[in-house]
Amino acid sequence: MVCLGNICRSPLAEGVMQHLADKHSLDWQIDSAGTGGWHVGEGPDRRSVRAAHNNGIDISRQICRKFSKRDFDEFDLIFVMDKSNYADVLAMAPNQEAAAKVRLLLGDKEVPDPYYDDTQFQPVFEMIEEGCKDIVKQFKSNTN
């Protein structure tokens, strides 16, 4: 799960995806990262921690890291939040196989950056939850 800062959206996506994977007994390796490195080593934004907590999910122990080219080897799928993330991640893809792993979490829609608007964290949570539920629907039968 990749966004720009790895403190607002992608930590929520990691938390929701892990929560759903646990619920469905899916042995998936789930992680998140940001294309920008400003917050590396920090925990998630407290507004994301609160939004997750309000929905029964604890993301408070996540640590921000920067997306790396090695992630293309480590992961089968790389979900990005918006088209800008998509372009940034795609630009790092070493080959076609790696590029094909990159998808928008919501298919054709974007998860907007809530950083400058406190009211957007719950709506963003809900968008991310929908996207993650679709991932379970799409891939569960292929892995179990």
Chain residues that interact with ligand 4NP, rule: CB under 6 A? 3-9, 34, 38, 113, 115
9 among known catalytic residues? yes
Active site residue 3: yes
- Residue 80 CA: distances (Å) to CA of 18, 37, 63: 16, 16, 18
Nearest distance, CB of residue 16 and ligand 4NP, angstroms: 14
Q: What sign does the dihedral 128-133-135-136 (CA atoms) show? A: positive
Q: Are 70 and 32 in contact (CB under 8 A)?
A: no
Q: Which is nearer to ligand 4NP, 18 or 48 (CB)?
A: 48
Q: How far is the CB of 27 from ligand 4NP (least distance, A)?
A: 27
Active site residue 117: no
Q: Which residue sits closest to ligand 4NP, CB atoms considered?
A: 5
- Indicate the Cα dihedral angle 42, 128, 76, 66, nearest 10°: -20
Strand partners, 79: 103
Q: What is the nearest approach in angstroms of ligand 4NP to the Cβ of residue 4?
A: 3
* Residue tagged active-site, from 9, 64, 82, 132: 9
Identify whether the C-beta of residue 22 lies closer than 8 Å to the C-beta of residue 138.
Answer: no
| Residues taking part in catalysis | 3, 9, 113
